[in-house]
């Protein structure tokens, strides 16, 4: 503590003597009574500051340094925690990306399977419709054949009746028609 005071006193003396030399005052030497009084006042001020203000100033600076150290330590801890969370999030993001890719593949496989199922169902449905249409066509053809046969039978009967009525009498005609109707019923 004494060394800084001596350094301050020496620099003060040199600055005062330099100031006095430039101002042109012959009475303003370093050892004049006015200068000596100022020097004593300055030294007394330094002593009083050292004696009474040293502990509060030291304590204030120490507290400030402690607070700064605590703040820096807290900031380092927060930075370490943030880095740890960042690495956790990166791991989670990587896992989520893998899961997303897996789900995408699963979804694509499911879509492809559903597409194939729909195609197969459509083919089956088309085959069923084709079979139903074929059955309907066959039934319609059979129905048309029956209708044509009935029409031909009716026409044949009418034509036979006409021919028979022209050539045969009414008694013979009835017997012939009945025999022919029985024959047609047996064949139909």
pLDDT tens sequence across 72-94: 999 999 999 999 999 999 999 99
Instruction: Report the 10 Å Cβ neighbour count for 96.
Output: 11
d(CA 50, CA 60): 14
Spatial contact of 157 and 180, defined as CB atoms under 8 Å apart? yes
pLDDT tens sequence across 10-66: 666 666 555 555 554 555 566 688 888 998 999 999 888 888 888 888 899 899 999
Q: What is the pLDDT of residue 93?
A: 94
């Amino acid at each position: 503590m004494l060394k800084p005071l001596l350094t301050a006193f020496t620099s003060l003396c040199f600055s005062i003597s330099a100031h006095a030399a430039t101002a042109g005052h012959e009475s303003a030497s370093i050892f004049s009574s006015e200068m000596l009084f100022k020097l004593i006042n300055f030294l007394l001020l330094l002593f009083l500051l050292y004696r009474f203000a040293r502990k509060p100033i030291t304590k204030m600076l120490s507290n400030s340094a402690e607070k700064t150290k605590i703040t820096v330590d807290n900031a380092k801890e927060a930075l370490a925690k943030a880095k740890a969370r960042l690495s956790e999030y990166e791991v989670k993001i990587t896992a989520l990306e893998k899961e997303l890719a897996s789900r995408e593949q699963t979804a694509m496989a499911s879509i492809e399977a559903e597409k194939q199922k729909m195609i197969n169902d459509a083919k089956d449905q088309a085959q069923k419709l084709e079979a139903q249409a074929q059955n309907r066509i066959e039934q319609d053809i059979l129905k048309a054949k029956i209708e044509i046969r009935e029409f031909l039978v009716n026409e044949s009967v009418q034509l036979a009746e006409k021919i028979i009525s022209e050539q045969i009498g009414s008694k013979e005609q009835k017997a012939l028609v009945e025999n022919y109707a029985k024959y047609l019923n047996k064949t139909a």
